[in-house]
Structure 1
Amino acid sequence: MTSIWTGSKVRLRGIEPEDWATFQRMDEHSADLRSVDMLYPPRSAAGYRKWAADQSTHEPTGDDFQLAVESLADGVLVGAMSTLDTDRRAGRFSYGVGICRDHQGRGYAKDAAVVLLTYMFGERRYHKCEVGILAFNEASIALHRSLGFQVEGRLRDHEFYAGRHRDMVLMGMTVDEFADRYPFHAL
């Protein structure tokens, strides 16, 4: 039996309490944090353990949720992704994905995005996915272009990072654009 949560390289799953150490290691790379979200003050190991334990029992609110990204090849946690800004009335949502530094460049982010988009478009009836990417994050912009996202605009001096304001690139993809590249299949 095949799961909608399994792609060709990764499986999306809930966060488990034992995942805390991987998340702590991910947060040790400031450049990676800036490209995904923002820098936060250091957290203790106990703080990471508590966060992971809380995430493992947290029930999603609507269609906003966070998932672990696990490699199919070896069952190792390689990153995380989350949905955000879900708007059922308008049919729009956004998401973020972050892959651990030592697992980047293997296609995990793209595969995870396809799995998530298949669920959000094909099961939750969303019409459009919109993402905001810091302009200096060229890898994420290239990833989203390869997925079929289109540049829809640029917000100048929109976010403050590393001592100055940075531009945000807005990209979007509709369900029809997604389905043209990744047809829906019944499992």
Structure 2
Amino acid sequence: MSSFWTGTKVRLRGVEPADWEVFQSFDAHSADARAVDRLYPPRSAAWFRESTKTRASHGGDDLDLAIESRRTGELVGSLSTGGVDRRAGRFSYGIGVGHQHQRNGYAREAITLLLGYMFSEQRLHKCEVKVYEFNEASLSLHRSLGFVEEGRLRAHEFFGGRHWDAVLLGMTLPEFLDRWEFPEV
């Protein structure tokens, strides 16, 4: 029997308190930090230990998952959902893959595993993501997965001395099923 959370390249698992050092190492790459959130001042090991401990004990509708490489067993990134609205049937997510692990297909597979779960097991109908206009790699990835650009929030975020647009993308359940099938039960 195989796990729903395991693909050919990645395995999704819960965040563990011991993951803090890897998350701290990911934070050291400024361009990546901006691409997924924002650039923060240096944070202490104690901050990362506490933050990761909180993530590891997180529950509720939102998921906080670690992305592991199946080939090496190494933690390569993380993925978390947010804004789960069961009445409207939609959710959003954020993903980050460590700089040294990018361009290996980890994000693509992690996202498709997540979408399969949220659509087939949680009965949600639409996924929404926000990507900053300068993050061409993420925009290209999401478009190749079948996300459709739905709009822009102009001059929405401030990075590197200027304001940037946030590109809003979405995928509905029928659009997902045009490309993928639900796993067999």
Measured against the shorter chain, the TM-score band is: over 0.9
6-15 or 103-112: bigger deviation? 6-15
Amino acid at match of 1:71: S
Question: How far, CA to CA, are the matches of 1:56 and 1:153 in structure 2?
Answer: 34
How many percent of aligned residue pairs carry the same amino acid? 59
Who is 1:147 aligned against?
145
The gaps in structure 1 that reach 5 residues or longer are: none
Who is 1:114 aligned against?
112
Amino acid at match of 1:41: P
Question: How far, CA to CA, are the matches of 1:162 and 1:48 in structure 2?
Answer: 24
Question: How far, CA to CA, are the matches of 1:2 and 1:46 in structure 2?
Answer: 37
Residue correspondence of structure 1 range 9-24 to structure 2 within 5 A: 9-24=9-24
Give me the TM-score of the superposition, normalised by structure 2.
0.96
Residue correspondence of structure 1 range 15-54 to structure 2 within 5 A: 15-54=15-54
User: What secondary structure is seen at the aligned counterpart in 2 of 1:181?
Assistant: coil
Question: How far, CA to CA, are the matches of 1:64 and 1:113 in structure 2?
Answer: 15
Question: How far, CA to CA, are the matches of 1:56 and 1:75 in structure 2?
Answer: 18
How many equivalent pairs are there? Answer: 185
Question: How far, CA to CA, are the matches of 1:169 and 1:113 in structure 2?
Answer: 18
Question: How far, CA to CA, are the matches of 2:28 and 2:183 in structure 1?
Answer: 39
The gaps in structure 2 that reach 5 residues or longer are: none
Residue correspondence of structure 1 range 1-187 to structure 2 within 5 A: 1-58=1-58, 60-61=59-60, 63-187=61-185
The alpha-carbon deviation at position 50 of structure 1 amounts to 2.1
Question: How far, CA to CA, are the matches of 1:5 and 1:128 in structure 2?
Answer: 20
Give me the TM-score of the superposition, normalised by structure 1.
0.95
Q: CA RMSD in A?
A: 1.1
Question: How far, CA to CA, are the matches of 2:16 and 2:89 in structure 1?
Answer: 30
1:93-139, CA deviations, whole angstroms, 9 ceiling, x for partnerless residues?
Answer: 11011000000000000000000000001100110001111001000
